[in-house]
């Protein structure tokens, strides 16, 4: 069982930002060869990450889902937009600790949902409130 919500590196199976950029260029170039118009732009407006089925993502301006990462800018593999300003919840670790007791399909979080609400949902489902990461109240 994976004990965190996946970020861009794991989702795209890369280890470094340079590897992510190389993969992004490969995918965009493939689309260009098929005749898709790609204009690489940067959108610095804040994008709020949410957890969807065990992955940190957000919606690109083009509508595609984009993998988010706390360490580097996000890149849309559909339209080429670079997003350097992805916002994660301040209590991301606590959100993850509450989500990882669930199966992947239940690992969902939207901005505004509190850790307490996630933990109460877990208990209602017969799950532990959270994954104990170095102690029950490690995130408090
Ligand atoms: Zn896009």
Domain co-membership, 41 together with 17: yes
* pLDDT tops 50 at residue 136: no
The burial class, CB within 10 Å (0-12 / 13-18 / 19+), for 44 is exposed
Give yes or no for a contact between 8 and 69, defined as CB atoms under 8 angstroms apart.
yes
Q: Which of 47, 134, 133, 135 is nearest to 95 (CA)?
A: 133
pLDDT at position 139 is 45
User: Residue 112 is encoded by which pair of tokens?
Assistant: 């505004």
| Mean pLDDT calculated for residue range 134-140 | 47
| CB-proximal residues (5 Å) to ion ligand 1 | 60, 62, 64, 76, 78-79, 81
Altogether, the residues listed in the chain come to a count of 140
Whether residue 140 is predicted with pLDDT greater than 50 in this model: the reply is no
Indicate if 61 and 105 belong to the same structural domain.
no
45-73: average pLDDT: 98
Q: Give the distance (Å) from ligand 1 centre to CA of residue 137.
A: 39
Q: How far away, in angstroms, is 48 Cα from ligand 1 center?
A: 15
Tokens of 84: 């350097």
Mean pLDDT score of the chain: 94
| 114 C-alpha to ligand 1 centroid (Å) | 29
DSSP helix/strand/coil, 82: strand
Among 40, 64, 87, which residue terminates a domain? 87
- Residues 58 and 52: beta-carbon distance below 8 Å: no
Does the pLDDT at position 132 exceed 60?
Answer: yes
Full domain range(s) for residue 68 = 8-87
Residue 135 covered by a domain: no
Residue 134 pLDDT: 53
pTM metric for this prediction: 0.91
Ligand 1 centre distance from Cα of residue 116 (Å): 33
């Amino acid at each position: 069982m994976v004990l965190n919500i996946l970020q861009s590196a794991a989702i795209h199976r890369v280890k470094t930002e340079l590897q992510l950029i190389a993969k992004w260029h490969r995918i965009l170039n493939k689309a260009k060869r098929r005749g898709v118009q790609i204009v690489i732009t940067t959108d610095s407006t804040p994008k709020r990450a949410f957890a969807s089925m065990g992955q940190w993502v957000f919606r690109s301006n083009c509508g595609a889902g984009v993998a988010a990462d706390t360490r580097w800018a996000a890149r849309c593999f559909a339209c080429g937009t670079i997003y350097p300003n992805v916002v994660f919840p301040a209590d991301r670790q606590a959100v993850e600790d509450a989500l990882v007791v669930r199966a992947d399909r239940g690992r969902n979080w939207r901005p505004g949902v509190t850790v307490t609400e996630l933990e109460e949902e877990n208990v209602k489902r017969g799950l532990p409130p959270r994954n104990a990461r170095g102690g029950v109240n490690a995130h408090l």
